[in-house]
Amino acid sequence: MDLATPLESATKVIDRWLAYKVHADRLPGLSVGIVYKDRVIFSQGYGYADIEKKILTTPTTCYRIASFSKIFTAIAVLQLFEQEKLHLDDRVQRYLPWFTSKHDPRTGQITIRQLLTHTAGLDRDGDTPHWTNFQFPSLDQVQQHIAAGAMTYAPAEKWKYSNLGFTILGEVIKVASGMSYEAFVNKHIVKRLKLSHTAPAVTDDIVKHLALGYSRDIAGQERTAFPRIETHAMASATGFSSNVTDLCQFMQAQFEGHTRLLADASKREMRRIQWLREGTDSDWSLGFQTWKINERRIYGHGGSFQGYKSRFGIDIGRAIGVVILANAIDAPSQDLVDGALQIIDYLITHFEEFTPPSTRVENIERYEGNFRCIWEDVAVAAVNNGLLLYDPASTNPALDFHQLRYEKGHQFKMVHGDSFGNIGEPVRFECDDKGLARRMFVGPDPLERFE
């Protein structure tokens, strides 16, 4: 089934929803990219890359993508596996003789696979407070911490997220490849995909396009911008910067049949679930986090940095990917990606329910927009000659979509929605002299258009 038509409707809903969320949630800015097979079907910026200078975000605005970096690192490891320069179940100590501790001999048992899956038992971030003082550790500091004892659990005892583990993987890549981590990923990932503004370090060219990263939205305070921060030895865990234009190319490279980075067999191995996280809504593969949107299996990762939040999710079966990058430390990028994937799944699954009636609605786009009353704001979008009404403030508007079916004149009927609401009742529009809907009535209650 070609999904192009329902996806076109989905991107219209996502566009209006994200524009509303950035404004209503007081976010500085964000950028979004959506791909389908070989096409970038939607990319857009909302809000500001620099609030003070009023510089708008665009699809080429750069952001720190933080732990999204781990997918680049995982791919680099799989590339070395394909080149037979390492094996996933090799002990790390084979490549890094210094990776040992007299205080905890369990350190020497850790494998590359366990680092990739966060099951090595290492602590999360080492012993430096870099997330609050902005001073990321050097390799010497990392080595000293390993020697002093960095284990929290035994290997394969428990799933425990570890930036330290992916820091170590960067050093494994360096030894196994004979190149620096930065040189290897630039040659084998960035240049292969012709990514123009993606790197594990903040280059001068990236700085020219980099959105300022802002602090939390605290009552009574203005957001402040964080300084430029270098990640040093932790670049392989959290150092990358990029933009949605580049990351759309990166997501497409994960689909079946795209072998610019990895063979399909290696990509399937990378997606194979390695650890079931009982009692949570996601599991872990080789680098990838995996979760479900309804019945669809999604693979992706997120990232948090001082002033930035990133998230992407890909549906391999449908060859659809969504990435959102934001420049606020408290931006709900994970919820927004999941919300976008929910919208996409709903409109693919239910698109035929919006079957055009025998008489097509003339100029149905006139009814699209945002409408307001004292109780709420609602958004209206045209879908397949019908209308969709939803709550634009929701992090998951698809949970409460209301389908409106055309009846006559400017009147529709709510045929699907919340039974506590106005399902089965008329939804009527009043249009101005130019034919644009200025007011709508849900049942007897009026709502006024606003921009």
**The tokens of 24 are what?**
């209503």
* pLDDT at residue 253 in the model: 98
pLDDT digits (tens, 9 = 90+) for 435-450: 999 999 999 999 999 9
pLDDT higher than 90, residue 39: yes
CA 16 to centroid of chain Cα atoms: 18
Domain ranges of the chain: 26-331, 353-450
Residues 163 and 67: beta-carbon distance below 8 Å: yes
Compute the average pLDDT of residues 376-387.
94
pLDDT digits (tens, 9 = 90+) for 246-267: 999 999 999 999 999 999 999 9
pLDDT band at residue 355, thresholds of 50, 70 and 90?
A: low
* pLDDT at residue 357 in the model: 63
Q: How far apart are CA 252 and CA 35, in angstroms?
A: 7
Structural fold of domain 26-331? Beta-lactamase (3.40.710)
Structural fold of domain 353-450? Lipocalin (2.40.128)
Q: How far apart are CA 211 and CA 146, in angstroms?
A: 35
Closest CA to 185 of 244, 261, 254: 261
